[in-house]
Amino acid sequence: MRETTFQYEPISSSKWDSKHSPKHVLVVRFHALGDLFITFPAIAALKKKWPHAQFHLMTRRQYAPLAQSLDLFDAILALSHTVGRRTYLNLLKNVPRMWYQGYDIVVDLQRNQHSRILRHLLRPSAWTEFDRYSPQSAMTRTLSTLKLLGLDDLEPDYTFSHAFEEPDSVQVLLRKHGRREGSPLVILNPAGAFSTRNWPIKHYVAWSRLWLQQFPDTQFLVMGLPTIKDRAEALAEKLGSSLINLVGHTSLVEAYALVLKANLMLTEDSGLAHLSWASGKPTLSILGGTRSDWVAPQGPRSAFFDSSHLECGNCMRTTCMHSTVQCLEFLYPEEVLKRAVDLIDRSQATELT
């Protein structure tokens, strides 16, 4: 097993000492989508602690509609730029009204130079910062961040998605693309960013055919950005009418609605994967060269395959050092099928409260 090293950075925090609930809490997470969404079960737990506090989120404008669709935040402060020099200008435009609002607590889940400057400008009574580098899951590090406020008994709340209202356009979209009402729905998500995170399409096809032998009424769904168009079309060519191809046809909110409708997601490391497991949906992740100590899905309805058993595992490389991506090529559909069926059985026996 390859030994993983990590960078240390000091974490700044100040506890909330008052016996009373804070009035206004600002959560800062600029990017990326999956990393933002992972924070939501922890924020939901914090809201249960302080039900009378107002929670505001500062994030990237593209993510605001999804955050607004959930009953987590009373206001969204959306930025058009969250990287580069323009970020400073975006922040400065917002600071006067944020001063007027007044924040008792700033939860900095980004922990970069922009978010730190913002926190210093706002001068809250209490604050905490995200630990970016410890070899623990993002969920664990997010909960640890919140506990630095003086809260010791926080547990992630995966039920926050229950407040989501499905847009009417989703049913129209599904009917238009051949959805059979009542059929089990399995999302295939071949959306890993690099070849070291891409399970071979031939394995997806073989897995899907094995799945249909056990669950013949199933329909598969693939969606996402046009960057996976070629992989989606390769799946559609082999799986025919059993696959619904919505790549490039959904908004972010519609994509999330489809995630919530699915019985299972078989996925690579991507934003949609985090939307799924963080909402308590059965999610089987194939991580490949990704660091599993950081990104492995959490919660009672998730499972994953990683590469930590290999000497080169958790490599975080964009291209493999070997002629064959061993952690993916030699992960066979039969093994993945068994884990998926076990996950479905376990998920059906697990109630989220």
Per residue in 283-335, pLDDT (tens digit) is 999 999 999 999 999 999 999 999 999 999 999 999 999 999 999 999 999 99
pLDDT number for residue 321: 95
Helix axes 40-49, 138-147, angle to 10 degrees: 30
Tokens of 307: 């590469």
Superfamily of domain 169-348: Glycogen Phosphorylase B; (3.40.50.2000)
Task: Spell out the residues 6+ positions from residue 152 whose beta carbon is closer than 8 angstroms to its own.
Answer: none
Location of each CATH 3.40.50.2000 domain in the chain: 24-160, 169-348
pLDDT number for residue 9: 86
pLDDT number for residue 20: 93
The beta strand positions in 87-173, using DSSP E, are 105-108, 126-129
Query: 221 has which bridge partners?
Result: 187, 244
**CA distance linking residue 67 with residue 95, whole number of Å:** 21
pLDDT number for residue 352: 65
pLDDT number for residue 1: 43
Distance of CA 166 to the CA centre of its chain: 19
For residue 88, the number of C-alpha atoms closer than 13 Å in the C-beta half-sphere is 4
Query: 188 has which bridge partners?
Result: 266
Could you say which DSSP state residue 71 is in? T
Query: 13: closest CA among 125, 139, 152?
Result: 125
Q: What is the mean pLDDT of each run of 10 residues along the chain (353 residues)?
A: 61 94 97 93 96 96 95 94 81 91 96 94 96 93 95 92 95 96 96 96 98 97 97 98 97 98 97 96 97 93 96 94 95 98 91 62
In Å, the largest CA–CA distance within the chain is 61
Can you tell me whether residue 214 is helix, strand or coil?
helix
pLDDT number for residue 120: 95
**CA distance linking residue 109 with residue 188, whole number of Å:** 30
Tokens of 189: 């998500």
**β 105-108/54-60 pair status:** unpaired
pLDDT number for residue 272: 97
pTM of the model: 0.93
pLDDT number for residue 152: 86
**CA distance linking residue 231 with residue 217, whole number of Å:** 23
Tokens of 191: 């959306």
Superfamily of domain 24-160: Glycogen Phosphorylase B; (3.40.50.2000)
Tokens of 93: 């435009």
Q: Identify the sign of the CA torsion 127, 130, 134, 137.
A: positive
**CA distance linking residue 22 with residue 53, whole number of Å:** 6
